[in-house]
Structures are given as structure tokens and as C-alpha cells.
């Protein structure tokens, strides 16, 4: 799963004022590294209430095991095991040669039976790609268009949705497919949703951790979409599943705020943390969630996901026979008045 693109690195900078004198190097013994990691989560992590863990107890349990680790690989494994107790898909540890460690959720291991190549080849007439290659699209029939967004990685390529709308002038219905989309650029997801709204809309809220107590947060900050680019005024269906993560979920959340838009498929993954990246004194990096994200009625959906308007799933047998039951359900809905 990819991370939200707005995640930023916070590194300790040594201020040098007209001299070459710097402070002592940060300690890299296992005890100091463990304490730094534990303390940063204690001060900044946002989902302790969701994880329902006692962070003090976890620190006391894992610290002696970490300090006595025989090598870096085992030390990293102890840190990774402790962080996995948070059950947060946005929490990672990148430990050099020991690799990157992340909690593997039920959404990660769920089978979706979605085959992008099969869907494009069987259901889309003359599938094409936008100039930047970020969207595959085409007509499913004379009036129903299909647009596949496999990732929200990259900068601002939201104008490629304008190309999709412009290329299918006879389209009255558009099916946007973000199944198996691992996320990426949070701002991009909202900008793309702006092609389908005629006014500014609040689609969610965030609160950021801002104090030493685990329940210290800012007030609610609105997440909004606004009209952008070439508007499409027809009916819109969004396809999602358990492998729609992070910024793909923000796209689903934003589209759900637009009247008439229907989400078809399965519940999304529930990976909502706004991660920041920090660095340990030995060069290892880690990510931690620092916000809580909410639906418009101020309900968090971390580890829960966003339910579809219409539940539809493809079975293993259907997939084996080249049938995309989720897309077919959306196409049947598109034919209804």
C-alpha cells in the first residue's frame, strides 16, 4: 500500500550560528533508539483510542527485549512487532538491511477477484489511456463510460479526467473504478472529485494530535471539494473494494458527498491516518499517523472502512470465467431510470 503523498519528513536539524561547533551526536544504542521511537509515538500518534492499547505497558514490555537484541535485524523485528500492536496500516518502520515492516491487515489479505486486464479487455470498447497514462478509459456501451484509476500517485494530473470527459461526448453515465487502488496523493483525489460537483461541499473532517496527552487534538478541520476542470453532469458510479486504501478512500468519501453518486462494490480498507515520516539517529525511518479522519457526520472510519451504497462482489468462479460481477451490477444500475 502506498502512502499519502503529502506525508513529510521531520528531521532534527542542528543550528550552526557563525561557528563550526555542533552538539553531541545522538545516541544510537538500542536503548536510546527505542526510547526515542516510543516517545515520538507517545507525543504524536493519533489512533491510540482506536487501537485500544496501553502504550506505557507496551513500552515496558518490549524495551528489555529490544535492548537485549543480538543484532540490528532482531532489534528491528522487536520494534516492528511493538508497532504492529497499533494495527495501523500507515505505521511503518524502514530499517535498512532489515527491510520495511508494516502491519498486515485483513484488508491486505482479502481476495477481491478483480482483474484489471480482463475488465478492460472484455467490457471496454477500444480502451485508451490519457496522455499522462494515469487513467484507462473507454465506452462500455453507447452511453456508459468507464474510467479506471489504479493509483493516486504523482503530482497534479487531475486534468486527465477532463480528457476522459472530453473524449466521450455521448456519455451519459460514467463508472469510475478505484478497486485495488493503494492510494497516493490526497489533494489529487479531492481535485478529481471536483469534476463532478457544482458547488463546494464538505466531505469529511480531520483532527490532528497537538499535545502530550493521547486525547489532545485540534478542533475539526473541514475536508472540502469544489468545482474544478471540466464538469460532468451525468450519473456517476464509483467502484471500490477492500483493496481501496488511503487516498482512494478519500476519493470515495468525497464522491459520496455529491448527490446522486453511488458507490458499488465492497467496503474500503479503513486506512485513514495522515502519516508523517521521522528519522532515528541510526538513519532508520518510520511513519506514524498524526490525525483522525472522519465522515461528514464526524464518525471515524479507521480500521472500519467506507461501506458501499450497493454491495456487489465477484466470486472466484465468476472471476475464473472472465466475469466482473461488480462492474456488471453497476452497468445494470446505469440502465435504470
Digit-coded pLDDT (tens) for 254-286: 999 999 999 999 999 999 988 999 999 999 999
Q: Are 271 and 183 in contact (CB under 8 A)?
A: yes
Distance, CA of 331 to CA of 309 (rounded, Å): 15
Among 111, 291, 125, smallest CA distance to 205 is for: 291
Q: In sequence order, what are the beta bridge partners of 320?
A: none
- This prediction has a pTM of 0.90
In the chain the domains, ranked by start, together with CATH numbers, are 109-271+294-335 (3.90.226.10)
Residue 202 CB neighbours (<10 A): 12
- How large a percentage of the chain has pLDDT more than 70? 93
Residues 6+ apart with CB under 8 A from 195: 158, 161, 162, 165, 228, 229, 230, 231, 232
Distance, CA of 222 to CA of 232 (rounded, Å): 24
Residue 156 CB neighbours (<10 A): 11
Q: What is the pLDDT of residue 274?
A: 85
Residue 133 CB neighbours (<10 A): 10
Residue 165 predicted with pLDDT over 70: yes
Q: What is the pLDDT of residue 21?
A: 43
Report CA-CA distances (Å) from 294 to 48, 136, 250. Answer: 16, 30, 10
Segment 59-79 shows an average pLDDT of 98
Segment 65-79 shows an average pLDDT of 98
Q: What is the mean pLDDT of the chain?
A: 92
3-state secondary structure of 147: strand
Q: What is the pLDDT of residue 26?
A: 76
Distance, CA of 167 to CA of 179 (rounded, Å): 23
Q: What is the pLDDT of residue 11?
A: 36
Q: In sequence order, what are the beta bridge partners of 287?
A: 92, 277
Amino acid at each position: 500500500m502506498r502512502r499519502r503523498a503529502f506525508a513529510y519528513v521531520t528531521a532534527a536539524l542542528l543550528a550552526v550560528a557563525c561557528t563550526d561547533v555542533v552538539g553531541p551526536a545522538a545516541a544510537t544504542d538500542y536503548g536510546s533508539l527505542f526510547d526515542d521511537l516510543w516517545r515520538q509515538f507517545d507525543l504524536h500518534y493519533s489512533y491510540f483510542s482506536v487501537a485500544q492499547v496501553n502504550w506505557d505497558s507496551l513500552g515496558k514490555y518490549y524495551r528489555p527485549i529490544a535492548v537485549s537484541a543480538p543484532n540490528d535485524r532482531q532489534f528491528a523485528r522487536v520494534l516492528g512487532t511493538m508497532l504492529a500492536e497499533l494495527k495501523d496500516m500507515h505505521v511503518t518502520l524502514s530499517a535498512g538491511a532489515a527491510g520495511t515492516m508494516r502491519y498486515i491487515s485483513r484488508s491486505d489479505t482479502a481476495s477481491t477477484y478483480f482483474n484489471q486486464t480482463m475488465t478492460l479487455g472484455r467490457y471496454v470498447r477500444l480502451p485508451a489511456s490519457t496522455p499522462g497514462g494515469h487513467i484507462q478509459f473507454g465506452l462500455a456501451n453507447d452511453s456508459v463510460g468507464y474510467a479506471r484509476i489504479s493509483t493516486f500517485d504523482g503530482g497534479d494530473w487531475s486534468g486527465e479526467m477532463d480528457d476522459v470527459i472530453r473524449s466521450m461526448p455521448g456519455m451519459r453515465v460514467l463508472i469510475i473504478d478505484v478497486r485495488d487502488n493503494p492510494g497516493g496523493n490526497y489533494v489529487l483525489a479531492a481535485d478529481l472529485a471536483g469534476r463532478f460537483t457544482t458547488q463546494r461541499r464538505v466531505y469529511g473532517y480531520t483532527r490532528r494530535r497537538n499535545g502530550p496527552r493521547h486525547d489532545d487534538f485540534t478542533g475539526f478541520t473541514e475536508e472540502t471539494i469544489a468545482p474544478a476542470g471540466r464538469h460532468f453532469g451525468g450519473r456517476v458510479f464509483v467502484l471500490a473494494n477492500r483493496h481501496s486504501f488511503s487516498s482512494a478512500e478519500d476519493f470515495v468519501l468525497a464522491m459520496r458527498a455529491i448527490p446522486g453518486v453511488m458507490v458499488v462494490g465492497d467496503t474500503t480498507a479503513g486506512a485513514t491516518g495522515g502519516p508523517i515520516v521521522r528519522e532515528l539517529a541510526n538513519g532508520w525511518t518510520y511513519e506514524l499517523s498524526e490525525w483522525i479522519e472522519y465522515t461528514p457526520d464526524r464518525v471515524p472510519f479507521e480500521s472500519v472502512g467506507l461501506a458501499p451504497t450497493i454491495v456487489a462482489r465477484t466470486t472466484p468462479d465468476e472471476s475464473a470465467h472472465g466475469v466482473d460481477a461488480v462492474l456488471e451490477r453497476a452497468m445494470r444500475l446505469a440502465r435504470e431510470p
